[in-house]
Amino acid sequence: MALDNPESLGITAQMSSEVTLRPGWGVFWMAVTGLQFIGVTALVKMMGTRIPAAEAAFLRYVLGLLFLLPFLANILKMRMARNTLMLFGARGVAHTIGVTLWFYSMARLPIADVTAMNYLSPIYVTLGAALFLGETLARRRVMAVLVALVGALIILRPGFRDIGPGHLAMLGAAFVFGASYLLAKLLTDRTSPGVVVTMLSLSVTIGLAPLAAMNWVTPTGSELVILMGVATLATAGHYTMMLAFRAAPLAVTQPVTFLQLVWAVLLGAVFFNEPVDIWVVAGGTLIVAAISFISFREAQLKRRAVTPAVAATKV
């Protein structure tokens, strides 16, 4: 995935986002970012379930690596400490699991469900930062996390709707993407953001290769075109996300990510005949509100940002 999950770039941008003169541009670029990620979701949905999830993710990453060829040669010449390589390996394993689960759930769930449940990743990051990185989990932040979890319960509604493998896979994907983000946060203290991004794409491609080979289905030309579109839109989406981070603080751009849920609902209803589920919208709104509040508090207290942008944990 070219610039797949450039959380490290997001962290750098968040830390420097206090000095900004263009909040309007920040909102604009984040809205454009959301449209592109919804495009990624739509293309994967369009491809269907003929190609196994692991193979689809593998092909997406292989095609995405084309965008990173100029950086690979430099990385191969680098000498990294053993513990740094172990962190890269751990992140590669986590992300390999995450993207496989995401492709699996995307082919089986309504677009709005996947979009809303993906909002949980920043919440997992907030909890993980408190548990493993020593970040303070103040009372207001605890309340925001609880609100987000209520939002997740509203989306899933256990006992009132069938919770299938797709829902469980998406819950797992959001969790693993959160873990990947935390590992990226550790790695940015050891190497540059560009290396972190490129190593992610390389390690996940290697990790997915044996999983794809186990149940290989030869893709058609149209399926390869769709996957190339996924790689291109994801690359462009992460680039415009960086533009948003440079133009405005995360406290300004984070609420704009709610538009992704609006577009997901419209896309599913218009092009895929998916019914509009008001409970999914309500639950997603609560989660976005909680994330936005946490981001606002981090900016208000002028502390180092921990909570990532929603887009930073996209596949």
pLDDT digits (tens, 9 = 90+) for 102-124: 999 988 889 999 999 999 998 89
Percent of the chain with pLDDT over 90: 42
Average pLDDT, the chain: 84
**Cβ neighbour number for residue 157 with a 10 Å cutoff:** 14
pLDDT at 16: 41
pLDDT mean over 263-274: 92
Model confidence band, residue 20 (pLDDT cutoffs 50, 70, 90): very low
pLDDT at 302: 63
pLDDT at 304: 60
Neighbouring residues of 184: CB distance < 8 A, sequence distance ≥ 6:
5, 7, 8, 11, 91, 196, 200
Cα 53-118-127 angle, rounded to 5 deg: 120
Check pLDDT > 80 for residue 242: no
The larger pLDDT score, comparing residue 284 to residue 137, is at 284
Model confidence band, residue 10 (pLDDT cutoffs 50, 70, 90): very low
pLDDT mean over 200-214: 92
Check pLDDT > 80 for residue 89: yes
Domain ranges of the chain: 7-307
